């Protein structure tokens, strides 16, 4: 069952611009994670935010979490062509597993 | 660095064949997972294992089985491959449940085509 849903499905921007992706989920969580996937490759963990946190930063990444709205956003500042990838949010539905959304495809043009 | 290795990157199999997808992790992780990824459907959990010889069904276990005889190895088995099992298969591992805040480490994926 799909817990997280990313929005938009696809995003196209120019280098140097900021990219914002959103994730909505349905049930209560302990934490929410964001992953990145380059075309045809495995997923790589980017950042985790716990349910008692509202904002977290890691380099050019900024994640926010609003548990009252059951939503999160991932902001990538000063995007680069190398940021071109799919981005997934994931939530801990059961104790042992993560449930992933369908992802946002980000294209950053030089 | 954690390494999750999927033995086959690309496979082409015939309908009805028995297919084995192998995955090995080198970080002594308790949990291992098999997902499949299809366009428009995202990642869907097939099976996971939280210990040797233990397994739990995920969201789409039909047509699949798994084996975990050793802690570092988790195999996905397609008993009789069908064309609707053509997909990218992703193996992953983690130290313990994500509810604890642990991240999941993925392999590079295995592209399976069933003809």
Summarised one tens digit per residue, pLDDT across range B5-21 is 998 999 999 999 999 99
Distance from C-alpha of A72 to C-alpha of A49, rounded to nearest angstrom: 9
Cα distance between residue B85 and residue B106, in whole Å? 20
Query: Would you call B99 an interface residue with chain A, using a CB distance cutoff of 8 Å?
Result: yes
**Cβ atoms < 10 Å from Cβ of A53:** 14
So what's the pLDDT on residue A5? 82
Nearest residue, CB atoms, B98 vs list A44, A92, A102: A92
Q: Mean pLDDT score of chain B, rounded to an integer? A: 93
Please list every residue in chain A whose beta carbon sits closer than 8 Å to the beta carbon of residue B97: 92, 94-97
Beta carbons of A102 and A12 less than 8 angstroms apart: no
Residue A4 CA: distances (Å) to CA of A8, A9, B21, B73 = 13, 13, 27, 29
Question: For strand B10-13 and strand B110-114, is the pairing parallel, antiparallel, or unpaired?
Answer: parallel
Instruction: Please give the pLDDT value at position B21.
Output: 97
Chain segment B22-44, per-residue pLDDT in tens: 999 999 999 999 999 998 888 99
Residues of B in contact with A31 (CB under 8 A): 98-99, 101
Q: Kindly report which listed range (A13-22, A70-79, A91-100, B95-104) carries the lowest average pLDDT score.
A: B95-104
Nearest to B103 among A33, A41, A101 (CB): A33
Average pLDDT, chain A: 92
Backbone angles phi, psi at A54, to 5 degrees: -110, -25
CB atoms within 10 A of CB B111: 16
**pLDDT computed for residue A29 by the predictor:** 87
Percent of chain A topping pLDDT 90: 77
**How far is the C-alpha of A18 from the C-alpha of B65, rounded, in Å?**
43
Q: Give B14's Cβ-side CA count (13 Å radius).
A: 2
């Amino acid at each position: 069952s799909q817990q997280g849903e990313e929005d938009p499905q696809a995003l196209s921007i120019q280098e140097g611009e900021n990219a914002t992706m959103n994730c909505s989920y349905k049930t209560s969580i302990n934490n929410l994670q964001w992953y990145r996937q380059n075309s045809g490759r495995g997923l790589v963990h980017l950042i985790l935010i716990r349910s008692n946190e509202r904002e977290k930063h890691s380099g050019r990444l900024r994640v926010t979490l609003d548990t009252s709205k059951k939503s999160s956003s991932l902001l990538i500042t000063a995007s680069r062509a190398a940021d071109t990838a799919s981005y997934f949010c994931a939530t801990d539905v059961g104790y042992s597993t993560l449930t992933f959304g369908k992802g946002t495809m980000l294209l950053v043009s030089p | 660095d954690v390494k999750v290795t999927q033995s086959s990157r690309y496979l082409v199999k015939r309908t009805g064949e028995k297919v084995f997808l192998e995955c090995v992790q080198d970080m002594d992780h308790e949990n291992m997972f098999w997902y499949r990824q299809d366009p428009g459907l995202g990642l869907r959990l097939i099976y996971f294992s939280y210990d040797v010889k233990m397994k739990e069904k995920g969201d789409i276990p039909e047509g699949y089985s798994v084996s975990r005889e050793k802690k570092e190895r988790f195999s996905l088995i397609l008993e009789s491959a069908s064309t609707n099992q053509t997909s990218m298969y992703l193996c992953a591992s983690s130290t313990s449940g994500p509810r604890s805040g642990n991240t999941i480490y993925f392999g590079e994926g295995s592209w399976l085509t069933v003809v």
